[in-house]
Amino acid sequence: MHFNLENVSTPWLGSYGEVPFHLEYSDKSMSVTVLETAAAEPDFPALSFMGRTIPYKEMAVEIDRVAKAFYSLGVRAGNRVLVCLPNVPQAIYCLYGLNRIGAVASMVHPLSAVAELAFYMDEASCQIAVTLDQFYAKFQEVRAKRPVSKLIIARVSEELPFPLSIGQKLLTERKFPKIVENEGTILWKNFIKGGENAGSECFVPDKDPLTESVVLFSGGTTGVTKGIMLSDINFNALARQTEAMCHETVLHSKMLAAMPVFHGFGLGVCIHTVLVCGGTAILVPRFNVKSYAKLIRTTKPNFIAGVPTLFEAITRNKYLDGADLSCLRGVFSGGDSLTIELKRKFDKFLAEHKATIRVREGYGTTECVTASCLTPYNKEKEGSIGLPYPDTYYKICKVGTTEEVPYGEEGEICLTGPSMMLGYINHEEENAQTLRKHADGHVWLHTGDLGVMDSEGFIFFRQRIKRMIVTSGYNVYPSQLENIIEGHPAVQRSCVIGVPDQYKMQRVKAFIVLRDGVEDTPELRESIVAHCREHIAKYALPSEWEYRDSLPTTLVGKVAYTKLQ
């Protein structure tokens, strides 16, 4: 069934045909939309970075300076530039500065391996890259694999207040390899200086909002990394949808932006939504529990967003003991499944620290920038990822088809709405598989995820279709088993995979990490197995158990089950 697609009135003409919407979305570029906010709120802090406050009017000036600098380097509308930066102000200036001249920011993780960076540049046809000084040596290795015509090097110290800037230079930056500036390698200050003579004619104020503006990388439905082309409308719509789902005023609020800017969650929610709505994004360039807890205490944010591992880490340390979290108006979890047990634990943690709200779980894909479904502020169902965003419509289809299934029946989660991607770069076959026109005339995104919709429209995520284990003809869903295993009080984290088996096709194996301070004994292991026997069907019960000190994770903190496989 699909939720609430009928009885809608206001049409919006999308690139895939007429889709009906209710909210009003900016039809201007991302950068112009944010600069309009800057004009309305010139003195309000747009960014906060390691003790420095950057008001909207200053951010607007920097965006235009960066736009002119890129233009002076020869970047033109439609060109893609690799932005390989953590959550630092320069990343924000590059995002909107490139957009200002009609170019495209291709956002990637600075901790990516050399081969990955070369792949990203090839996939997005990038000739220019921006990174921090600490990654200069890595890009020299990238150059050995493929050309990089211009490498722009920024430094954290350039955005810090005195005397922190001096400390950063002396204690950290002096340890990095010496940068050899030449025609192909440009320091940030000289990059900016190079655009001083460019005029406002380089700006593209009337950029078509339905064209590409950002590239983010994701595995998509096949698990193969691909560049996802996203438009201005995708981001602008997400901002207004997220604001509406918050059920709280974002104007003049503060968001602790720890989710990285190369991730749709960090870029779309923690940065663009906040800046469109006139709030402050508190940039967290590198996450560690102690400094994150200190930021919560000192900045008193109104909103925090993160992956489940972040919330688990918060509850496991003492850094927020006695902290007053009544400042919080929204806590959002996404990027990975929030187990029932962790939600209960974090809700309890919030209540014990004077917060009046509960954690709200969201669901989304990079193919729709990020979240497109969220637990409502006033109603939740255990195990549910909530209701679709305004103007985003969900249906559950029989896997491999466009045929809808009844309420309560499991199938593939499909969705459509204004944040739906333009497509993958150079992957036409997968575009055809992922973006499909249904009998209703609309194009729907096939997510590759299994889920269920109940009669009230609440969505229940099961897991990735390709992660399903088939053992002796039975379907086993690892995420459900992990929920049960992590319900044991001694278990910190788990991961369930399928292992090839001559007779069963696959057998079930569980990896387990125990909580800190818990002694690993035969009796404890038997109690975990007994707990699982009580809650897991015999055919799905793991036949192999492996205990580890830690589990491999992806760059955004998800358990990297493919590495375990």
CATH number for the domain including 182?
3.40.50.980
Question: For 352-377, what is each residue's pLDDT tens digit?
Answer: 999 999 999 999 999 999 999 999 99
| DSSP state at residue 273 | I
Confidence grade of residue 503 (pLDDT, cut at 50, 70, 90): low
Given a cut of 90, whether residue 475 has pLDDT beyond it is no
Question: Residue 359's closest CA among 316, 390, 329, 335?
Answer: 329
Count of domains observed in the chain: 3
Decide if 38 is inside a domain. Answer: no
Instruction: Determine the Cα angle at 413 with ends 512 and 237, to 5°.
Output: 105
Percentage with pLDDT > 70 across the chain: 93
Decide if 40 is inside a domain. Answer: no
Same domain, yes or no, for 326 and 271? yes
Say what the pLDDT of residue 557 is. Answer: 67
Strands (E), 366-521: 371-374, 387-388, 393-397, 411-416, 423-424, 435-437, 443-453, 459-464, 469-471, 474-476, 491-501, 505-514
CA distances to 337, 339, 466, 476, 565 from 541, rounded to whole Å, are 21, 19, 19, 9, 18
Strands (E), 40-107: 45-49, 52-55, 80-84, 104-107
Show which of 149, 182, 208 is a domain's final residue. Answer: 208
The CATH number given to whatever domain includes residue 351 is 3.40.50.12780
Show which of 183, 208, 233 is a domain's final residue. Answer: 208
CB 513 within 8 A of CB 493: yes
Question: Residue 396's closest CA among 479, 481, 460?
Answer: 460
Say what the pLDDT of residue 313 is. Answer: 85
Same domain, yes or no, for 304 and 336? yes
Say what the pLDDT of residue 4 is. Answer: 36
Decide if 380 is inside a domain. Answer: yes
Given a cut of 60, whether residue 465 has pLDDT beyond it is yes
Given a cut of 60, whether residue 261 has pLDDT beyond it is yes
Average pLDDT across the chain, whole number: 90
Question: Residue 85's closest CA among 101, 102, 65, 109?
Answer: 109
Confidence grade of residue 470 (pLDDT, cut at 50, 70, 90): confident
Same domain, yes or no, for 95 and 109? yes
Same domain, yes or no, for 60 and 140? yes
Mean predicted confidence (pLDDT) in 247-256: 96
CA distances to 281, 314, 344, 382 from 358, rounded to whole Å, are 21, 15, 9, 13
Say what the pLDDT of residue 395 is. Answer: 96
Question: For 10-52, what is each residue's pLDDT tens digit?
Answer: 333 333 344 456 899 999 999 999 999 999 999 999 999 998 9
What three-state secondary structure class fits 215? strand
* Structural domain boundaries enclosing 485: 468-564
Question: Residue 21's closest CA among 364, 416, 456, 497?
Answer: 416
The CATH number given to whatever domain includes residue 553 is 3.30.300.30
Q: What are phi and psi of 484, to 5 degrees?
A: -70, -45
CB 420 within 8 A of CB 442: no
Mean predicted confidence (pLDDT) in 180-186: 95
By mean pLDDT, which of 185-199, 296-310, 541-555 is the weakest?
541-555
Show which of 175, 208, 241 is a domain's final residue. Answer: 208
Given a cut of 70, whether residue 160 has pLDDT beyond it is yes
Same domain, yes or no, for 200 and 145? yes
Question: For 326-335, what is each residue's pLDDT tens digit?
Answer: 999 999 998 7
Decide if 35 is inside a domain. Answer: no
Same domain, yes or no, for 143 and 231? no
